[in-house]
Structure 1
C-alpha cells in the first residue's frame, strides 16, 4: 500500500477507496470521468489570472483590501500541500509604511481543469479576511465556491495521481 500523503487528513474509508482505485489503475479514468478532457482553460497568463481573481473578489469580497499582485509561480511546487500562497507584504517607502496583498499560484494549475484553479484562488482570497484555517475561513470558501470541499479533494486526487 502506498502512502497517500495528500489525503492523510481524510477518513480511512476514503483513503481505502482511493487506494483501491490506484491498485486497479483506475484513478486516472475516474478523474477523467469527473473532468472530461477539454481544451485548456484560458487563464494562462499572469494578467488573465489577475483579472480572474479580481472578478471573484469583486463578486464575493468587495469590502476586502485591494490585491496588488496575482501571478503564476513556476518555481512553486507542492510544499506542505500548498499550490497557492497569500502574502501580506509591508514595505517602507520614505516615512510611510505600504502594505500590499499578493497572491501567487502554482503554474501547474495552468494544465488542470479550471474548477481546480478556481478552488485555489478562492482559498487564497479567503485569506484576505481570515488568516487561519478555521471554521470562518472554510465558511467563506464555501460561500465563494459551494463545491469547495469536493474540489479540494479532487485536487488532492490529481496530485496523488501525478505522484
Structure 2
C-alpha cells in the first residue's frame, strides 16, 4: 500500500480542504476501496462497442431526441494516455455529391469497460451533453444533471475510483 505522499491526489485538489482531508483519511485507513464498493457494488456488462452504441442511443433518445444522430460509440484504449481524457466527442463532415453529411462519433476510454454502472452512465451522459453544449459551462452541467441527477457526486466518486486504481 503506497503512502499518502506517494499518491497523486491532483484529481481532487480543487475540492474543499475538508473534502480533501476526508479522502486522505479514507486512503490512510485503507477504506477507500470499501467506500467505493459499498456505494457502487454493481458493475455493468457492456463489454463491446455494439452494446455501448445501443446503450448510448437509448440515453440519447430519452433525453436528447432532437439532437444529431449518433453513428458510432466505441471503447478506445488510447484515450486516457494520448488525450488525457475519459471520452471524446467528434464530428466528421464529408461531401457526397452535392450533399454534406456529418458523422457523430463518441469514443470512451477503455477504463469504463470494467467499472460500476453509474460511472459508465456518467461518462456517456457527459459525452452526449456535448452534442448540444460544446463548452464545459453552466448550461452543459445543467444538461448533464438533467440526464443524471446525481452527476456531480458520480463525477467526484469516479475521481476517487481513479485514485483507487492508481493505488492497486
1:78 deviates by 5.7
Could you give the per-residue CA deviations for residues 38-62 of structure 1, whole angstroms, max 9, x where no partner exists? 4x42211100000000000000000
Is the deviation greater in 84-93 or in 7-16?
84-93
1:68 deviates by 1.1
SS at match of 1:88: strand
Determine the structure 1 residue equivalent to 2:26.
21
Please tell me whether residue 100 in structure 1 is matched to residue 103 in structure 2.
yes
TM-score by length of 2: 0.88
* Contact 2:87–2:106 under 8 Å retained in 1: yes
Please tell me whether residue 33 in structure 1 is matched to residue 41 in structure 2.
no
SS at match of 1:157: helix
Which of 130, 135, 139 matches 1:136? Answer: 139
Identify if the C-alpha distance between structure 1 residues 126 and 17 changes in structure 2 by more than 3 Å, giving closer, same or farther. Answer: same
Determine the structure 2 residue equivalent to 1:116.
119
Give the Cα–Cα distance (whole angstroms) in 1 for the partners of residues 83 and 29 of structure 2: 28
Determine the structure 1 residue equivalent to 2:79.
76
1:162 deviates by 1.1
Please tell me whether residue 43 in structure 1 is matched to residue 46 in structure 2.
yes
Unaligned runs of 5+ in 1: none
TM-score by length of 1: 0.91
Is the deviation greater in 23-32 or in 71-80?
71-80
Unaligned runs of 5+ in 2: none
Equivalences for 1:53-64 in 2 at 5 Å? 53-64=56-67
1:80 deviates by 6.8
Identify if the C-alpha distance between structure 1 residues 105 and 135 changes in structure 2 by more than 3 Å, giving closer, same or farther. Answer: same
* Contact 1:123–1:141 under 8 Å retained in 2: yes
TM-align CA RMSD = 1.7
Please tell me whether residue 12 in structure 1 is matched to residue 26 in structure 2.
no
